[in-house]
Chains A and B, each alone.
Chain A
Amino acid sequence: MNVIIENFPLYVDGLLRTLQICAYGFVGSLVLGTILGAFRVSPVAPLRWVGTAWVTVFRNCPLTIVLFFCAFGLPEVGINGLYFWFGVTGLVLYTSAFVCEAVRSGINSVSPGQAEAARAVGLNFGQSLSSVIMPQAVRTVIPPLGSVIIAMIKNSAIVGAFGVGGDLFAVGQGLASAQGKAALPVLTGVALGYLVITIPGGLLLGILERKVAIAR
């Protein structure tokens, strides 16, 4: 286990890098996924099609393929930038499809009478979504959303492995293969690093869940 202690600063850097990827991924996929979720229940058919197509493509493609297309496809069409941003983009595209489905199922869990009453009062689609439906959907959205976000944190390892570099997973890779350290202790350190993010994340979600459950 000495390897963890000796390389502790390296691990901390990796943890921070992973946190950074996850933070961008979280905000990006939450925003995009919510918009797509709204698309899927919108009265405008083309928006519904976009939402459905998005989910069908990104939920059914392996993340590695999505990342591949981002890293090599985006430069092809003239979009250049850091690998880091390609990685984050791929993670957001992929995760947003799952967020979208969580949001949509939350919206569907709200009784149709609520949307009807909102329309009858004269609210338009956007107003009834934001003032009536979404606040009630949150309660059912949070548990599946939590699983999606935890999966995203773990998926960030694939982003790291894809060459973004510097994240927890890449640190482990570097120590084990480049420096020839014993793989098991090195990876134990990596695993602990992820647990440091995901376990408090899960606890936070639990608190949030209880909070929205009472707020009624």
Chain B
Amino acid sequence: MSTAEAAPPMIRASAVNKHFGDLHVLKDINIEVPRGQVVIVLGPSGSGKSTLCRAINRLEPIDSGEIAIDGKPLPAEGKALAALRADVGMVFQQFNLFAHKTILDNVTLGPVKVRKQSQADARKTAMELLERVGIANQAAKYPAQLSGGQQQRAAIARALAMKPKVMLFDEPTSALDPEMVQEVLDTMIGLADEGMTMVVVSHEMGFARRAAHRVLFMSDGEIVEDADPDEFFTAPKSERAKDFLSKILTH
């Protein structure tokens, strides 16, 4: 049986470069993320982690190279891109829930508008998802009425409602009060255990040790290390990674 080997990687970035003016933020990035893998992206501030995440669903255009999701190269702006984006769920540091819509409507908007599901079907799925992330009782409220942790779980439900192939998380717990971090991490661990392909920018060591299959360490726009989590945390190879780890582990 060679179907697993024949399947394309879920995410493939080849020779990706990106500049902001003179600043070279992504330098010749080459990665392949197989289906079901959970990748943690680490690195100092400004190293390009967010930009990489955003490039993967083309919220940020790249200058050169190619990014493919499940074997399909990301098209330029337009209909095809919107469709492909729907396959990639994204969770933001600031949640970015639609402020004028209830939690339930936040979750159903994409399925109804993009997947053309009926309101009734979308609501049913949305309630199941909200149940799963533990905030079904908040469905009728507006985002501003929820705690940060609840908002972030709603944002995860909103992304999952599109039945994405990949989930991207850009520092999903950085804007949360410490007591709410775990509830969001638990939700993410649940997803990882179910086999979701995930790219997670996070400095949460607990999550990395518990759920990650792989660590990418970025510095100055380059992937400096691409390693097994245990290996990376116990014996980082590069000076830059050692330096970085010594800083975050003392915090």
Contact = CB atoms under 8 A, between A and B. Distances in A.
B159 to A, nearest CB: 8
A204 B142 CA distance: 27
Contact of B113 (A120, A131, A215): A131
Contacts of B117: none
Q: How large is the interface on B (under 10, 10 to 19, 20 to 34, 35 or more residues)?
A: 20 to 34
A211 interface: no
B114 A122 contact: yes
Contacts of B85: 119-122
B109 to A, nearest CB: 6
Interface stretch (B93-101, B186-194, B222-230): B93-101
Interface stretch (B14-22, B75-83, B197-205, B210-218): B75-83
A82 to B, nearest CB: 42
A122 to B, nearest CB: 3
Nearest to A212: B100
A123 B59 contact: no
B79 A124 contact: yes
B120 to A, nearest CB: 19
Given A113-B92, A121-B114, A123-B113, A132 B98 contact: yes
A117 interface: yes
Contacts of A124: 79, 82
28 contacts: A116-B92, A117-B96, A117-B97, A117-B155, A119-B82, A119-B85, A120-B88, A120-B89, A120-B90, A121-B85, A121-B109, A121-B158, A121-B159, A122-B83, A122-B85, A122-B86, A122-B110, A122-B162, A123-B82, A123-B114, A127-B113, A127-B114, A132-B98, A132-B109, A135-B100, A136-B100, A216-B99, A216-B100
Contacts of B152: none
Given A216-B142, A216-B144, A114 B110 contact: no
A117 B79 contact: no
B106 to A, nearest CB: 9
Nearest to B145: A216
Contacts of B79: 124
Contacts of A118: 98
B182 to A, nearest CB: 24
Chain A CB within 10 A, most for which of B57, B79, B100:
B100
Contacts of A122: 82-83, 85-87, 110, 114, 162
B110 A123 contact: yes
